[in-house]
């Protein structure tokens, strides 16, 4: 295809991606180096007929509006935002490392810094939910494959629901069931005979319920992909394994799993990307007291009364760096394969 | 796999294990929805009952407060009093526009990527993969300030075009692999007969591309429908779509004791998805696997 035709076809799509994905990334980077204007204070003398005069410091709104119009980004701050307490917290980390009472103390104190708290949950969510959801999905795929044909359709229908559901809606539905006066929450209280038991109060239980939600909503994707993969397992290989005396488990271990391995890489990649942006369940579960994620930090900066663009920008840049680190193995492999092909 | 032969040889205990595992999974997947739909027809003291969940099933307090075991008060409150219908309308506008525009851009781009053997076509796909991985909220923090400056914040067209752009990487990948499966000879022979590239696309490719387009369209629809990060930050309160509207219900409604409005709104937002899965189950499954097998 000639270059001209190619670009004529792809131009609209490319323009959309450049304008609304590439440029915003640039905009985020620029923003992250700026910080909101300081308040301009003026001293006003306030004289009353009988009280005498008092001096009062006030925010000069007119001057602030003018400054805001002249420099909407705020003032230049360099890497200041990246290093402050709510992001990488370099000074605080230094202080913790130089003065602590042991490893547990270090971890606990670093966990109290907002950025590291969010990072910890995001990574745990990514690396706990992804393998568990894949294992569950694989188990469901094996089980459904063994079912009689008539029942497969309905089972697949119900299995798709947790995945297809709007994340915020899905997390609300679960949250209403597990909160103290919902069906599961109340039943748990009765079972353990502990009327104060609440998933919201304890960090451990909040994390557990968020992870449960993650597995619930991620498993169907693995299930569908693995189920489709199972249909392509070569019958001859299975049969010869059976003739050689392989047990059911050995056939799964030595025939089916190797056959599905390439699919598993794909599923893992997609789910890691999606789980890294975990955000809606934290809003839905109102879990921000005990669990926050990187995406939630950005949302929180932007949705307050005073929108902290600088702070949101810095967290966004750090998040994007995280995504690139996450994708690195895939990118390197593709790069090698591509060069190999060309040479 | 020879299903029949293997089923016969499976021991009874294993069969029992498989069936009970599936039953547990189906209950886990479906029960939350059934429970919430049922509960949305009750009053709050029943659905969120401290005494016993049995209240939610028989509707003890619903009977006391309204006289019957079912009530549509939650739906009336959400749709009429709190004007949820407006959000439903906005969602319809946003999802339909996003789907149509992304498919138009995506088919053109995906076709070009599938037919070009050039190095830069490969790079566009790789960059699209990286863009696909960007958390949406990081992009949103880049949009807000420029949109305020340009004075285009808060209106539906802005959100639509942003969602189209966010959706492009995925659409390009899907349609690229779909067009690869259509034989090259088809459009090339049309060009030998004197068509230009665009005429070949219009007269030869468009008639055969619908299965792939429908599947990709379903996922574009889902992305626009399920989005929370973009629409909640880029739309003003009057223009909100369903999902941000539900989240704003949560803030205001909890204090006024009207949680049932939110429950009714949540159920209303779930119904279209049910219908979608009901009618397009095959396409959804094939779309998920097409990406996997070829990607």
Write down the ipTM of this complex: 0.91
Q: Computed from CA positions of residues A252, A254, A259, A261, in that sequence, does the dihedral angle turn out positive or negative? A: positive
- Return phi, psi of residue B135, to 5°: -60, 135
Q: Quick one: average pLDDT of A240-269?
A: 89
Would you state the structure tokens that stand for residue A161, as one six-digit string? 């629901």
Which of the pair, B186 or A72, is modelled with greater confidence?
B186
Q: Residue A52 belongs to what H/E stretch?
A: strand A52-59
Lowest model confidence (mean pLDDT) among A55-64, A263-272, B234-243:
A55-64
The residue in chain B having the minimum alpha-carbon distance to the alpha carbon of residue A146 is: B7
Residue A106 distance to chain B (closest CA, Å): 30
Q: Residue A58 belongs to what H/E stretch?
A: strand A52-59
pLDDT at position B255 over 90 = no
Question: Are the beta carbons of A5 and B144 separated by less than 8 Å?
Answer: no
Helices A257-276 + A309-342 axis angle, to 10: 150
Instruction: Please list the residues that pair with A104 across neighbouring strands.
Output: none
Which of A6, A186, A224 has its CB closest to that of B285? A224
Question: Are the beta carbons of A13 and B168 separated by less than 8 Å?
Answer: yes
The answer to the question of residue A267 being in a domain is yes
- The pLDDT-based confidence of B1 (bands split at 50, 70, 90) is very low
pLDDT at position B165 over 50 = yes
pLDDT in tens, A7-58: 999 999 999 999 999 999 999 999 899 888 777 777 777 777 776 777 777 7
All residues at 6 or more sequence positions from B274 whose CB lies less than 8 Å from its CB, including other chains: A161, B33
Q: Quick one: average pLDDT of B249-258?
A: 70
Helices A149-164 + A114-145 axis angle, to 10: 170
Residue B135 distance to chain A (closest CA, Å): 5
* pLDDT, position B117: 79
CB–CB of B55/B209 below 8 Å?
A: no
pLDDT in tens, A221-234: 999 999 989 988 88
pLDDT cut 70: percent of chain B above it: 94
| Residues in A touching B269 (Cβ below 8 Å) | 166, 169
pLDDT at position B177 over 90 = no
pLDDT at position A339 over 90 = no
pTM of the model: 0.90
pLDDT in tens, B206-220: 999 998 999 999 999
Q: Could you give the residue range(s) of every CATH 1.10.3720.10 domain in chain B?
A: 77-294
pLDDT at position B40 over 70 = yes
- Which residue pairs from B222-227 have beta carbons closer than 8 angstroms and sit at least 24 positions apart in sequence? B222/A164, B222/B276, B223/B98, B223/B163, B223/B166, B223/B167, B223/B170, B224/B94, B224/B95, B224/B98, B224/B99, B224/B163, B224/B167, B225/A166, B225/B91, B225/B95, B225/B272, B225/B273, B226/A165, B226/A166, B226/A167, B227/B136, B227/B163
Number of domains in chain A: 1
pLDDT in tens, A165-176: 999 999 999 999
Residue A98 distance to chain B (closest CA, Å): 34
* pLDDT, position A51: 67
Our measurement of the distance from residue B255's CA atom to the centroid of its chain's CA atoms, rounded to an integer in Å, reads 30
CATH number at residue A204: 1.10.3720.10
* pLDDT, position B2: 46
Instruction: Please list the residues that pair with A52 across neighbouring strands.
Output: A48
Question: Are the beta carbons of B143 and A20 separated by less than 8 Å?
Answer: yes
Which of B1, B35, B118 has its CB closest to that of A233? B1
The residue in chain A having the minimum alpha-carbon distance to the alpha carbon of residue B269 is: A169
Question: Are the beta carbons of B164 and A16 separated by less than 8 Å?
Answer: yes
pLDDT at position B295 over 50 = no
Instruction: Please list the residues that pair with A44 across neighbouring strands.
Output: A56
CA contacts within 13 A on the Cβ side of B250: 17
Q: Which CATH architecture has domain B77-294?
A: Orthogonal Bundle (1.10)
pLDDT at position B4 over 80 = no
Question: Are the beta carbons of B137 and A279 separated by less than 8 Å?
Answer: yes
C-alpha–C-alpha distance, residues B283 and B119, integer Å: 32
pLDDT at position A313 over 80 = yes
C-alpha–C-alpha distance, residues B46 and B49, integer Å: 5
Which of B108, B146, B277 has its CB closest to that of A27? B146
User: How many other β-carbons are positioned within 10 Å of the β-carbon of residue A25?
Assistant: 17
Domain that residue A185 falls in: 118-290
Contact with chain B for residue A135, Cβ under 8 A: no
| Residues in B touching A156 (Cβ below 8 Å) | 281, 285
C-alpha–C-alpha distance, residues B295 and B254, integer Å: 45
> Dihedral angle at the C-alpha atoms of B14, B15, B18, B24, nearest 10 degrees?
-120
Which of B35, B112, B141 has its CB closest to that of A177? B35
DSSP calls for A178-241:
HSTTSHHHHHHHHHHT-TT--TTT-HHHHHHHHHHHHHHHHHHHHHHHHHHHHTTS-HHHHHHH
pLDDT cut 90: percent of chain B above it: 49
All residues at 6 or more sequence positions from B138 whose CB lies less than 8 Å from its CB, including other chains: A25, A28, A295, A298, A316, A319, A320
CB–CB of A53/B130 below 8 Å?
A: no
* pLDDT, position A184: 87
Would you state the structure tokens that stand for residue A334, as one six-digit string? 């593709």
Instruction: Please list the residues that pair with B235 across neighbouring strands.
Output: B154
What is residue B235's DSSP assignment? B
* pLDDT, position B29: 95
Q: Quick one: average pLDDT of A209-237?
A: 92
pLDDT cut 70: percent of chain A above it: 99
- The pLDDT-based confidence of B106 (bands split at 50, 70, 90) is very high
C-alpha–C-alpha distance, residues A13 and A60, integer Å: 47
* pLDDT, position B254: 60
Which of the pair, B275 or A337, is modelled with greater confidence?
B275
Would you state the structure tokens that stand for residue B42, as one six-digit string? 């009750």
| Residues in A touching B258 (Cβ below 8 Å) | none
Which of the pair, B217 or B259, is modelled with greater confidence?
B217
Average pLDDT, chain A: 88
* pLDDT, position B27: 95
* pLDDT, position B101: 97
C-alpha–C-alpha distance, residues B142 and B145, integer Å: 7
pLDDT in tens, A91-132: 888 888 888 888 888 888 889 899 999 999 999 999 999 999
C-alpha–C-alpha distance, residues A279 and A258, integer Å: 34
Which of B18, B165, B288 has its CB closest to that of A224? B288
All residues at 6 or more sequence positions from A115 whose CB lies less than 8 Å from its CB, including other chains: A86, A87, A88, A89, A297, A315, A318
The residue in chain A having the minimum alpha-carbon distance to the alpha carbon of residue B143 is: A24
Instruction: Identify which of A228, A259, A257, A232 has the alpha carbon closest to the alpha carbon of residue B289.
Output: A228
pLDDT in tens, B42-101: 888 888 887 777 888 888 888 888 888 888 888 998 899 888 999 999 999 999 999 999
The answer to the question of residue A240 being in a domain is yes
Average pLDDT, chain B: 88
The three-state secondary structure class of B182 is coil
Terminal CA-CA length for chain A: 22
Helices B119-133 + A257-276 axis angle, to 10: 60
Q: Quick one: average pLDDT of B174-191?
A: 89
The answer to the question of residue A131 being in a domain is yes
* pLDDT, position A342: 56
């Amino acid at each position: 295809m000639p270059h001209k035709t190619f670009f004529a076809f792809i131009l609209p799509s490319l323009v959309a991606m450049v304008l609304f994905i590439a440029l915003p990334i640039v905009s985020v980077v620029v923003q992250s180096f700026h910080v909101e204007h300081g308040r301009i204070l003026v001293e006003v003398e306030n004289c009353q007929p009988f009280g005498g005069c008092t001096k009062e410091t006030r925010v000069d709104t007119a001057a602030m509006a003018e400054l805001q119009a002249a420099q909407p980004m705020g003032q230049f701050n360099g890497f200041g935002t990246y290093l402050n307490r709510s992001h990488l917290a370099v000074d605080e980390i230094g202080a913790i490392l130089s003065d602590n009472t042991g490893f547990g103390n270090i971890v606990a104190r670093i966990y109290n810094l907002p950025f590291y708290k969010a990072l910890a949950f995001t990574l745990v969510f990514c690396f706990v939910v992804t393998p568990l959801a894949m294992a569950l999905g694989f188990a469901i795929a094996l089980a459904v494959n063994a079912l009689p044909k008539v029942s497969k359709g309905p089972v697949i229908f119900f299995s798709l629901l947790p995945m297809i559901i709007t994340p915020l809606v899905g997390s609300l539905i679960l949250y209403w069931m597990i909160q103290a006066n919902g069906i599961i929450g109340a039943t748990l209280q009765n079972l353990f005979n502990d009327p104060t038991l609440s998933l919201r109060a304890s960090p451990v239980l909040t994390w557990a319920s968020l992870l449960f939600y993650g597995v619930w909503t991620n498993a169907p994707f693995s299930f569908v992909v693995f189920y489709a993969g199972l249909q392509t397992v070569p019958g001859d290989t299975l049969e010869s394994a059976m003739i050689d005396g392989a047990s059911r488990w050995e056939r799964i271990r030595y025939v089916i799993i190797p056959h599905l391995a390439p699919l598993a890489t794909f599923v893992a990649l997609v789910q890691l990307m999606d789980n890294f942006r975990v955000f809606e369940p934290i809003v839905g579960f109102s879990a921000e007291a005990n669990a926050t994620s990187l995406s939630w930090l950005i949302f929180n900066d932007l949705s307050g009364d005073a929108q902290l663009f600088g702070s949101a920008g810095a967290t966004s840049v750090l998040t994007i760096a995280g995504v690139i680190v996450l994708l690195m193995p895939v990118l390197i492999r593709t790069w090698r394969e591509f060069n190999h092909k060309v040479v | 796999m020879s299903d029949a032969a293997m089923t016969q040889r499976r021991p009874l205990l294993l069969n029992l294990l498989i069936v009970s595992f599936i039953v547990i999974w189906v209950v886990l997947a479906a029960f939350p929805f059934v429970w919430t739909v049922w509960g949305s027809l009750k009053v709050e003291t029943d659905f969120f009952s401290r005494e016993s969940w049995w209240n939610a099933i028989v509707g003890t307090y619903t009977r006391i407060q309204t006289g019957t075991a079912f009530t549509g008060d939650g739906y009336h409150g959400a749709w009429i009093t709190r004007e949820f219908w407006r959000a439903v309308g906005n969602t319809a506008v946003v999802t339909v526009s996003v789907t149509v525009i992304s498919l138009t851009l995506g088919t053109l781009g995906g076709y070009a990527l599938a037919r070009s053997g050039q190095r830069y076509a490969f790079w566009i796909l790789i960059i699209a993969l990286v863009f696909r991985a960007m958390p949406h909220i990081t992009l949103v923090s880049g949009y807000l300030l420029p949109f305020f400056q340009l004075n285009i914040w808060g209106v539906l067209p802005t959100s639509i075009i942003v969602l189209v752009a966010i959706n492009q990487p995925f659409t390009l990948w899907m349609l690229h692999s779909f067009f690869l499966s259509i034989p090259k000879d088809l459009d090339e022979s049309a060009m030998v007969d004197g068509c230009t590239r665009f005429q070949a696309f219009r007269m030869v490719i468009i008639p055969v591309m619908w299965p792939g387009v429908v599947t990709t369209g379903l996922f574009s629809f889902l992305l626009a429908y399920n989005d929370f990060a973009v629409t909640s930050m880029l739309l003003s309160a009057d223009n909100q779509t369903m999902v941000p509207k539900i989240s704003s219900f949560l803030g205001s409604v909890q204090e006024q004791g009207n949680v049932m409005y939110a429950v009714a709104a949540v159920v209303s937002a779930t119904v279209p998805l049910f219908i979608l899965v009901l009618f397009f189950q095959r396409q959804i499954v094939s779309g998920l696997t097409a990406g996997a097998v070829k990607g």
